[in-house]
A and B are shown apart, each in its own frame.
Chain A
Amino acid sequence: MNQKKRQPSPSQNPLAIASKWVPWADKLLPLLGVVILLSFWEIAATSNWVNPVLLPTPVATIAELVIVTFRPENGLFLDFFTTLWRTLLSFAIGAILGVPLGIILGSNERVYRSFEFLIDFFRSTPASALIPMFLLFLGTSDWNKVVIPAFAGFLVIIFNSAYGVMNARQSRILAARVMGASHWDIFKDVLFWESLPQIFIGLRTGISISLVIVIVAEMFIGTDLGLGKRIFETQQILNVKDMYASILTTGVLGYCLNMIFRFVEKQIVHWSGR
């Protein structure tokens, strides 16, 4: 809230149809949607529209979230960190392979044309459809829950990296060339940086996809720990409070990964949009 309240509004409620709209009220706007959703949820849960067994109230769910998170036995935080670890590991594998290969692919038009269809095809194939195939080769090992998301992330990362290099603006490359820069100079000082914004789009999409596939793989393949497994199992035994708490946790995880990524991106690609 603003330290200086220049115009105290008639009612302190930002939702009030105030004749004088106060500036600090605008800052609360992002919360409006959340408030509406929670109210709707509360009403749905308490008014018996929905069977209360299937939908606990928001307060009960959040209380459950706090309780199960730090429970020493079968605590949610263990599942959280397992899923986070798998997501980061698979993302790292996808990025370490995808960025350099994408750059190589994009630097050579002929090579790219040879692989374009293949990459585009697999990129368009839902990675979850490949889980049974991977199961055949890798079994239900823990490794499997990393390889499939890594593969899915790798595809978007390689595609976007190649695309970024291929669509780099020519003007800066020409400028470097007229200054006497060698091919290698142009590559490391211009082309790489020029494609970095697009590479980051690939990385950001890649980490989201990795998380999605990790969750699906945990549900499908079976594992000791992981948010996907927890959501699935709590649903099976009708422990709905825990299920909603786990779903919320997945959302928080995805949201935080996205935010952290945007922050890092802004630090590195500082010139973007300027």
Chain B
Amino acid sequence: MISTATSAFINVQGLCKSFGGQVLYQDFDLTLPEGKVISVFGPNGCGKSTLINMMSGLIPIDQGQITVADKPLRRSRIGYVFQNYRDTLFPWMSAFDNIAYPLKVKGMAEKNRHQRVDQLLATFDITLDLRRYPYQFSGGQQQLIAILRAVVADPEVLFLDEPFSALDFEMTLYIREKLQQVHMESNLTTVVVSHDLEDAVYLADQILLLSKRPTHVVEKVQFELPRPRTPDTVSHPEFVRTKGHCLDIFRQEMRQ
């Protein structure tokens, strides 16, 4: 089924969330389109990660409703990439077993798991010796394994919580390219939290700018430069303009 970009694929309504008496979200509404990459950007402590954690069902909400493709969260297929691969990959399993774990818990036979993972590696032309354990790979490779694990079971939405924050610059560029490739191959709806505006704009079709607490959406900025985007993209006038615009709004928010 093809849906238009304006249809609400992820739908958040009347969301309320408090932490220790501090109101983080109050009657928060948000709709996100299907098949797009949405970057979430905002000041520290505004609850960017909390938002995607609630949208992925990782933490409970106080009030409100969240649906993905008109289904409640518990029936939707979610892929999630955590900030820290070190704490979320399973070091007692080989890289292969890590990537194939979502397939295993769904009851897929081992032979089919191998096929699916091989197919995934071929698609993104990744050559890693998956018999090794996660800690035997570099940080960037580990994050790549975490991303493969998140997309292997064909999720409806992919959430990424600051996927570059534990990586050096070189690896950030590499993982950024792989994420773009994932999106171009699968057209997967992707929501990525980033504290780096360049990464946020580079990846996004839409940048979601959030305010300070209690959090609301300040603006949804569209960024429609065609893919594949390259390292040259960051000096493209449209990129510079969009990034500048986001930064202006961010500064305004900080002053309030």
Same complex origin of A and B? yes
Q: Contact: B133 with A270, CB < 8 Å?
A: yes
Mask: chain B, 87-109; 1 = CB below 8 Å from A; 0 = not: 11111110000000110011000
Segment touching B, from A37-45, A102-110, A174-182, A203-211: A174-182
- The residue from A172, A180, A196 contacting B88, defined by CB atoms under 8 A apart: A172
B84 at the interface (CB under 8 A from A): yes
Query: What is the bound-complex CA distance between A265 and B234, given in angstroms?
Result: 50
Say whether, besides A189-B90, A271-B92, A175 and B82 are in contact (CB < 8 Å): yes
Does A190 have its Cβ within 8 Å of any Cβ on chain B?
yes
Q: Mark A143-174, 1 if CB is under 8 A from B, else 0.
A: 00000000000000000000000000101101
Given contacts A178-B80, A182-B105, A185-B105, contact A274 B135 (CB under 8 A): yes
Which of A177, A178, A270: most chain B CB closer than 10 A?
A: A178
Residue in B87, B92, B93, B101 whose CB lies within 8 Å of A179: B101
Bound CA span A176–B93, Å = 13
Shortest distance between the CB of A74 and any CB in chain B (Å): 48
Question: How many residues from B make CB contacts under 8 Å with A?
Answer: 23
Min CB–CB distance B97 → chain A (angstroms): 9
User: In the complex the two chains form, is B84's CB within 8 Å of A171's CB?
Assistant: yes
B135: contacting residue among A169, A171, A185, A271, CB under 8 A: A271
Interface size on A, residues (CB 8 A): 20
- Does B139 have its Cβ within 8 Å of any Cβ on chain A? no
- Tell me the complex Cα distance, A153–B77, Å: 46
Chain B residues, Cβ within 8 Å of A180: 77, 102, 105-106, 153
Residues of chain A within 8 A (CB-CB) of B206 are none
Query: Is there a chain B Cβ closer than 8 Å to A261's Cβ?
Result: no
Looking at A175, A177, A189, A271, the one whose CB has the most chain B CB atoms below 10 A away is: A175
Does B1 reach chain A (CB closer than 8 Å)?
A: no
Let me know if B56 and A271 touch, CB within 8 A.
no
Tell me, in angstroms, the Cα distance from A116 to B106 when the chains sit together: 37
Q: How far is the CA of A176 from the CA of B91 in the complex (A)?
A: 13
Bound CA–CA A185/B106 (angstroms): 10
Per DSSP, chain A at the interface is helix
Q: How far is the CB of B191 from chain A (nearest CB, A)?
A: 13
How many Å lie between the Cα of A7 and that of B102 in the bound state? 58
Q: How far is the CB of B152 from chain A (nearest CB, A)?
A: 9
The verdict on A178 contacting B57 (CB below 8 Å), with A169-B87, A271-B92, A274-B135 known, is yes
User: Considering only CB atoms, which chain B residue lies closest to A184 in the complex?
Assistant: B105
Q: Which residues of A contact B77 (CB under 8 A)?
A: 180
- Per the bound structure, the CA–CA distance linking A77 and B213 in Å amounts to 74
Known A-B contacts A171-B82, A171-B84, A270-B133; A179 and B102 likewise in contact (beta carbons under 8 Å): yes
Rounded to whole angstroms, the CA-CA distance of A171 and B166 in the bound complex is: 16
The verdict on A193 contacting chain B, using a C-beta distance below 8 Å, is yes
Is there an interface contact between A178 and B135, defined as CB atoms closer than 8 Å? Answer: no
Complex contact A274–B87 (CB within 8 A): no
Q: Which residues of B contact A189 (CB under 8 A)?
A: 90, 93, 101, 105
Known: A175-B80, A178-B56, A180-B102. A271 touches B88 (CB 8 A): no
User: In the complex, what residues of A have CB within 8 A of residue B106's CB?
Assistant: 180
Residues of A within 8 A of B105 (CB): 176, 179-182, 185, 189
Give the most central of B56, B92, B106: most A CB within 10 Å.
B92
Please give, as numbers and ranges, the residues of chain A lying within 8 Å of B135 by CB-CB distance. 271, 274
Q: Which residues of B come within 8 Å of A, CB atoms?
A: 56-58, 77-78, 80, 82, 84, 87-93, 101-102, 105-106, 133, 135, 149, 153
